[in-house]
Structure 1
Amino acid sequence: MKIGVLGVAHRVPSTTTLPLRQVRARVRCFSSSESFASENAGHISFIEEVAATQPPQHLHYLLKMLQTRGETIISPGSRQGLIPLVIPLSENLSGSVTALLRWPTAPPGMEMPVVDVRKHGVWLLAKNVDQYMHRILVEEDANNFNESDGELFHAASDVGEKLYRRGDFAESQTANLDGYLLKEVGLFPDVLERKVARHFDQGDHVSAMVTGEFYTKKDLFPGFGRPFVFYAEILKKFVEIFSEHFHVFQVLHFFFSQPNLFNYFLFRVGRTSEAKDAARVALKSPWWTLGCAYQEVAGIAQWEDEQIEYIKEKVSEEGRQEDLKKGKAAAQIALDEAAFLLDLASIKGTWDNVLERIAECYREAGFDEIARFILYKD
């Protein structure tokens, strides 16, 4: 969607909508005394009948793995206070909730990402269930090779064997776990960010910036603003490194002794405006995908409250009437409003305050099943 100069233009995985199926929400809440298989069936039926989408093929194995490593499997309808687009799977001892993300609009066949639910939104853990299972197995093998009793591998069953063979990490002789994950498993936001941090710690600023820019590459993490937030942060950090630790003559001597870095600095990170621009690109994505509070990104973007006020105006009755006069379809106006309300709720994590209106917006746009999903709670 595109809006005015101060407005955001949210980029979601696709504008293609899933076909709507008329079904009744029949999700059974299971007690702790019932079998794990029944709990798994509860998640499957919730995804099919309430979230109105296809359950991940190997979700049963992921749930068993999460339980095996000490997390508590929770009801998919236990969503009080959470962003209403998630399907909770488990909760760890620190209270962190692992969930599936149900994008309101997505192309047919797109798998649901696995996310960590946070106050201001979500953090991407893996692009799909299989990738997350693969990562868990590699990390278990790498960190507990001589001590592990193999319970996680047993929980993953034959599916786990197809994803990863125990001992492969050690045999690969890869320098570090993060390197193996990126090469053999997939791209993960936290792993890429740690890689950039290591480059900075080693004084390799060029590699840090190249990796940071790669992180923002189109279609690596569609719909998520986090890569651009991080890129804005390291652009800002890189400028600060030289402004804090070098006098002008030291900087000139340093750059002339390393011409490649000099050229890179001139053309890529020579100005604070680079960080500002990256932050503004991040804010074109849903604010609940930033991986941090909105205010942190708005500060780098050099925006105060004008962005928030603009969105509040867009979701007002006057804003809706203005869009109608401009010829925008009523269904699109409703979808835009739902997205804007989620953005505003992400600022303080006040999701429950806007659920009714968000659901109403999806109904107005013809997404009756998404509306029911938004409102569903145990």
Structure 2
Amino acid sequence: MSAVFRSLRLLPTPSSFSSSLILPVSYRTRAFGKPNRSLRWSETTLGKSDLFVSKRARCSGGGARSADVRCVAPKDGRVVGVPDARYTGIECLLMMFLRDHFSFIEDVAAARAPESLNHLLNMLQARGEALISPAAKEGLIPLVIPLSENPSGKLTSLLRWPTSPPGMEMPVVEVHKHGVWLLAKSVDQYIHRMLVEEDANVENTSKLWDASAEAGQKLYKKADLSESGIADLDIYLLKKVGLFPDVIERKISRHLETGDQVSAMITGEFYTKQHFPGFGRPFAFNAQILLKVGRNLEAKDAARGALKSPWWTLGFKYQDVADIAEWEDEQIEYIKEKITEEGRMEDLKKGKAPEQAALDEAAFLMDLASIDGSWNEVVDRIAECYMEAGLHDIAKFIAFRE
């Protein structure tokens, strides 16, 4: 009966809604029950982040009973409808089981929702992305909370770490088949960057500014980019907003394009200095740079360092990094052996705590799944591992199905 949705779109904010609340949302859902086709349906909206929302509506349709209208019917394949009040006759209770991002993060992911999340959602939609259900995790790495999908099909999401590194409680990521790519360390940092880039765009409109509302006013003063005297957008971002993997990588690539290998290697080394804890991408990228400039031995060491991080954070296919590291299949076979019952019992006999053995198995399963993106095959066992380790909240989040 759960009416979880894949696609939704925001509506204009009525003045009756506090700016601290998420904008009303029009959801596209699955219907439950059999629709009464004689009824008329009209658009309805959601306001605050309630996990389950009960809407009381009046309906009509030739003596319709409440059982006849226990459904949510799409109008023009676009929005959710309730019986239009103009065609009232019998009062009925229409239960709409709708989850929004705030309630999902707090009630399912058992985490604190970023304060500016509603503004980010508005901005993502303003730049042409379609908001999607936070529960639409089928086939994805199980640690993400989807936010939106861009026209090319890439998902912008939040990453819900089992145990987050300092300063990376809920980073913004782009989801790929083999894992995630870090977009920003936080929601606020990503909003800040979006506003600066919009300010740099000669064709900028007021859409993103309007969508950012008070969050945007707090984070960025319009025209500060031009007033700063910094001509290079990337330099402004690094100096005034924060460090971003793609900006640093672009800086390294430009050094190589101009033949400045020394600056490229220095910047590559800087990239790996724990600016992005928990992510293997800086080491993997640095390995590729070192390989390009003929530092093969250093490239191998960097690649092996990258593979000490979760493989789903590499930002490359596992095999691309393993080739530089000169790893054969023995590492994969070793991990596969460790997650067998015999391998686990051997660890326990050596004194490893059962909780740690469960956490290690979960990490190994994530690594293996990242190789070919076979997340659905391991998600249940990963959830069981976290449950065995005593991390019940993360276990329930990972096991959640829409």
**Fold equivalence (TM over 0.5):** yes
Distance 2:354 2:3 in 1: 32
The CA deviation at 1:174 is 1.5
* Equivalent in the alignment of 1:134: 192
Where in structure 2 are the equivalents of 1:153-164 lying within 5 Å?
153-164=209-220
The Cα offsets for residues 205-253 of structure 1, whole Å up to 9 and x where unpaired, read as 11111000000002x10000000001100000011xxxxxxxxxxxxxx
- TM-superposed CA distance for 1:175, in Å, is 2.8
Give the drift of 1:354. 0.5
Superimposed CA distance per residue, residues 181-205 of structure 1 (whole angstroms, 9 cap, x where no aligned partner): 1111000000000000001111111
The alignment's TM-score, normalised by the length of structure 1, stands at: 0.81
Residues 83 and 351 of structure 1 are in contact (CA less than 8 Å); yes or no, is this contact kept in structure 2? Answer: yes
Per-residue deviation, residues 62-99 of structure 1 (Å, max 9, x unmatched): 00000111111100000111000000000011100000
2:157–2:173 CA contact under 8 A, matched in 1 = yes
Which residue number corresponds to residue 64 of structure 1? Answer: 122
Distance 1:165 1:79 in 2: 36
User: How far 1:110 sits from its partner (Å)?
Assistant: 5.2
2:351 to 327, 351, 371: 327
Runs of 4+ in 1 over 6 A off after TM superposition: none
Letter in 1 for 2:45: S
Tell me what 2:365 maps to: 341
Contact 1:100 1:114 in 2 (8 A): yes
Identity %: 65
1:246-265 alpha-carbon deviations (Å, 9 max, x no partner):
xxxxxxxxxxxxxxxxxxxx
**1:75 partner SS:** coil
Deviation at 1:143, TM superposition (A): 1.6
Counterpart pick for 2:251 among 173, 192, 195: 195
Matched, 1:225 2:235: no
In 1, the alpha carbon distance for the partners of 2:226 and 2:184 equals: 23
1:235 is aligned to 2:314: no
Specify the code of the residue in structure 1 equivalent to 2:229.
Q
Which residue of the partner structure matches residue 393 of structure 2? 369
1:183–1:43 Cα change, 3 Å: same
Cα offset for 1:273?
A: 1.2
Q: 1:88 to 1:115 in 2, by over 3 A?
A: same
For residues 108 and 174 of structure 1, do their structure 2 counterparts lie closer, same or farther at Cα, with a shift above 3 Å needed?
A: closer
Aligned-partner Cα distance in 2 for 1:370–1:70: 32
Residues 57-96 of structure 1 mapped to structure 2, 5 A cutoff: 57-96=115-154
Matched residues in 2 for 1:37 and 1:361: separation? Answer: 37
Q: Give, as a single letter, the amino acid of the residue that structure 1 aligns with 2:210.
A: H
Q: For 1:347 and 1:229, how far apart are their aligned partners in 2?
A: 15
Task: Report if aligned partners of 1:27, 1:42 keep a CA contact under 8 Å in 2.
Answer: no
Change (3 A) 1:117 1:280: same
User: Which residue identity is paired with 2:164?
Assistant: A
Aligned to 2:236: 180
Q: Does 1:295 align with 2:319?
A: yes
The structure in which a higher percent of residues are helix is 1
Task: Tell me, yes or no, if structure 1 residue 166 matches structure 2 residue 222.
Answer: yes
Structure 1 residue 54 corresponds to structure 2 residue 112: yes
> Comparing both chains, which one has the higher relative contact order based on Cα–Cα distances under 8 Å and sequence gaps of 6 or more?
1
SS in 2 for 1:52: coil
Cα 1:320–1:141, aligned 2, differ >3 Å: closer, same or farther?
A: same
- Give the Cα separation in 2 of the matches to 1:28 and 1:226: 33
Q: CA deviation at 1:357?
A: 0.7
Q: CA deviation at 1:38?
A: 5.4
- SS of residue matched to 1:98: strand
Root-mean-square deviation over aligned CA pairs: 1.8
Q: Which of 133, 140, 157 is equivalent to 1:99?
A: 157
Q: Give the AA of the match of 2:272.
A: T
What is the number of equivalent residue pairs in this alignment? 319
* Distance in 1 separating the partners of 2:178 and 2:45: 34
Query: What is the match of residue 45 of structure 2?
Result: 35
**Aligned counterparts, 1:242-257, within 5 A:** none
Q: Is the 8 A contact 1:101 1:113 kept in 2?
A: yes
- Inter-CA distance 307–137: structure 2 relative to 1 (3 Å threshold): same
Cα deviation, residue 36, structure 1: 6.5
Structure 1 residues not aligned, in runs of 5+: 1-25, 240-268
Deviation at 1:27, TM superposition (A): 9.5
Q: Deviations over 1:295-353 (max 9, x none)?
A: 00000000010110010011011110110010000010000000100000000000000
Alignment partner for residue 115 of structure 1, among 173, 177, 183? 173
- Aligned AA (1:348): D
2:335 aligned with 1:311: yes
Find the counterpart in structure 2 of residue 358 from structure 1: 382
Q: Higher strand share goes to which structure?
A: 2
Structure of higher CA gyration radius: 2
CA distance in 2, matches of 1:291, 1:273: 21
Q: Secondary structure at the match of 2:323?
A: helix
Counterpart of 1:214 (choices 247, 270, 283) is 270
Consecutive unaligned residues in structure 2, runs of 5 or more: 6-25, 29-42, 51-98
Structure 1 CA distance for aligned equivalents of residues 190 and 44 of structure 2 = 26
**Aligned mates of 2:168, 2:177 — CA distance in 1:** 26
Contact 1:142 1:177 in 2 (8 A): yes
